[in-house]
Amino acid sequence: MSSAEIKISKIIELLGRTDESTLDKIIGLLGSSKSDADTTDVFPPEVIEGIAKSKKQIKNGQYTSHDTIRAKYKDLYPNANI
């Protein structure tokens, strides 16, 4: 895995831990990095769709928190550095 892929993986992990308002701020910041750009100019359509789907799932309570997942795997793999 390249360093770029590792960075993207870490960003995706962090995005998974954020709430809807934080996602909106991130999208706004990234969109404002290009003059007169909206998010459709900055991200490919599948990313926009994924973010919209994630926001809807968070709003509907259809998610598992990072802490819950971490605790589950800590129990499954007690010697792992999780």
Domain ranges of the chain: 3-76
Question: Average pLDDT, whole number, for the chain?
Answer: 79
- What pTM was computed for the model? 0.43
73 near 35, Cβ under 8 Å? no
pLDDT at 79 over 80: yes
List Cβ<8 Å contacts ≥24 apart for 19-24: 19/58, 20/55, 20/58, 20/59, 23/51, 23/54, 23/55, 23/58
Query: Among residues of the chain, what percentage have pLDDT more than 90?
Result: 22
5-41 confidence digits (pLDDT tens): 777 777 777 777 777 777 777 777 766 555 444 555 6
